[in-house]
Amino acid sequence: MKKTKATIFFIVFISATLRISAQRTVVNLVAKMDVRPQYELWDGNEVMLMGFTKLFGTPLSLPSPTLVFNEGDSVEIKLRNMSQSAPHTIHLHGLDVDQKTDGVPNLSFSVPHDSTGSYIFKAPHAGTYLYHCHVISTIHVQAGMYGVIIVNPPDGSNTTWEGGYAYDSENTWMMSELDSFWHQYNYIHMEGQHEHTNGTPILDYNPQYFLINGKSEKQLKGPDNSIISKIDETVYLRLVNIGYYGNRISLPEGLNAKVISSDGRPLPAAYDTDTLEMYPGERYGLLLQPSEVFEDSIQITYFDLNTQISKSIQQMPVKVSEVNGLNTGLVSKGLNIYPNPFKNEVYISTNNLHSYILTVSSMNGAEIMQLEVSDHLELQKLDMADLSAGIYILNINTEASSQNFRIIKN
């Protein structure tokens, strides 16, 4: 009898454990550091980064991968530190997690080199958040250890939050600056200060590069960054400032921009505007509802918080047409399509799409390939070596939505 009870208890325990495990969304991040300059800036200069990637072999980029969850998800972020030097953490900025998960050294925990740490939490309110290392945060954030966290409503639908605004497509822009002197080998590696302890020297901050999703100037002219929409489509624009400067966003009137949320919460009173200022650590959510055909740009002014003097203006192209819009932002529901343009292969990574149908078509609508992707596959490789050079449409079709992305073969 005792044996039977023990067996039943064991089966129930195992079942419960597996169920909990099955419901948890696990994201693997690797913290690492470049050993030589590899991140190309708009003028051809290359700098070293310290940052997060999903796979050790993937080069570091700015920002680090976007993480996408649904509200209520049980999440585990496993951080593997392979940076050869400093300890690192993940601060879940705005997610209001408990102290031990907050990612602040001494108050929670830090992950030394060649070690792994886990951040376990429940994804809170639908909204836009960010994550960054909080070890000598002044240096590590500037080095590149930051990314966006998007929390969708519980059903994962294209809605700003449960009972909120519906939208057709979304773009996420993370603003930052880069001071190349902070990315020199001796500084980023902090020789003699591998623990990156208190008392660390900080350089004067005089950034030369002003970034949107890690790009600036002519790099912003490509299809990956533009907002391309159709009349009467609704675009959800998520704005994040992780820099040390202020941002002034100037929007063309034709976009009919409405500010609806900030810092992961709906505003008590949404309002229409053509200008928005945002400051380090803030996030804003805007709905764009163009009612006319036009081509213009959204201007982002970067200004010094001490002098309030503008240091740079970056321009993001906007095109509103009468035909179907293309969501060309590489971030949508956690999708990352890279490289784009490509030569032979395209990778599609996601952490939040359990299954989807992928279709590649030519610009005149002819279907070239179709693939059903399932089983939580985080990284899908497409072999497109046989295609001729040109522009193709990659469609991702899920239960909740269908979105087009423009990919370019060189």
Partner 1 sequence: MKKGLLIFCCTLLYFASHSANTSRSLFIHGGNLIAVNDSLIPYVSFNEFDSFSQNNPVITLNLGDSLSLWVYNRDTIEHQFAIKNIDKPSISIPRLDSIHIDYFFSQAGNYIYYDPLNYPTNTFLGLAGMIAVKNHNYSSFYWNIKEHDKLWNTRIRAGAKVDWDTYYPKYFTINGKSNPMINEDSQARITGKVGDTLILYIANTGQSIHSIHFHGYHVTVLFSSKYTTHVGRSKDTCPVFPLESLVLQIIPDKPGEYPVHDHNLVAASANNTYPNGMFTTILITE
Restricted to residues 306-325, the positions that interact with partner 1 (CB under 8 A) are: 306-309
Does residue number 177 form part of the binding site for partner 1 (CB under 8 A)? no
According to DSSP, residue 83 is labeled: S
Does residue number 388 form part of the binding site for partner 1 (CB under 8 A)? no
Q: How far is the CB of 82 from partner 1 (least distance, A)?
A: 24
Q: Which residues contact 105 (CB under 8 A, 6 or more apart)?
A: 87, 89, 134, 135
Cross-strand partners of 28: 78
Q: With contact defined as beta carbons under 8 Å apart, do 256 and 272 qualify?
A: yes
Q: With contact defined as beta carbons under 8 Å apart, do 25 and 352 qualify?
A: yes
Q: How far is the CB of 285 from partner 1 (least distance, A)?
A: 13
Does residue number 37 form part of the binding site for partner 1 (CB under 8 A)? no
Compute the C-alpha angle 15/18/20, nearest 5°: 110
Q: Which residues contact 366 (CB under 8 A, 6 or more apart)?
A: none
Q: Which is nearer to partner 1, 167 or 182 (CB)?
A: 182
DSSP calls for 148-166: EEEEE-TT--SBSSTTS-B
According to DSSP, residue 64 is labeled: P
Lay out the site mask for partner 1 across 102-121 (x = CB under 8 A, - = otherwise).
Answer: x-x--x--------------
Stretches 11-19, 33-41, 98-106, 209-217: which one binds partner 1 (CB under 8 A)? Answer: 98-106
Residues 341, 408: Cα–Cα separation, whole Å: 5
Q: How far is the CB of 271 from partner 1 (least distance, A)?
A: 7
Q: How far is the CB of 36 from partner 1 (least distance, A)?
A: 26
Does residue number 93 form part of the binding site for partner 1 (CB under 8 A)? yes
DSSP calls for 355-404: -EEEEEEETTS-EEEEEEE-TT-SEEEEE-TTSPSEEEEEEEE-SS-EEE
- Which residue of 98, 322, 372, 386 would you call a contact of partner 1, by CB under 8 A? 98
Place of tokens 């969850």: 69
- Which residue of 1, 36, 44, 269 would you call a contact of partner 1, by CB under 8 A? 269
Q: Which is nearer to partner 1, 32 or 93 (CB)?
A: 93
Q: How far is the CB of 282 from partner 1 (least distance, A)?
A: 5
Q: Which is nearer to partner 1, 123 or 337 (CB)?
A: 123
Place of tokens 């906007």: 318
Lay out the site mask for partner 1 across 272-291 (x = CB under 8 A, - = otherwise).
Answer: -----x-xxxx---------
Q: Which is nearer to partner 1, 71 or 224 (CB)?
A: 71
The residues that touch partner 1, with contacts defined as CB under 8 A, are 91, 93-94, 96-99, 102, 104, 107, 136-139, 141-142, 198-205, 244, 246, 262-265, 267-269, 271, 277, 279-282, 305-309
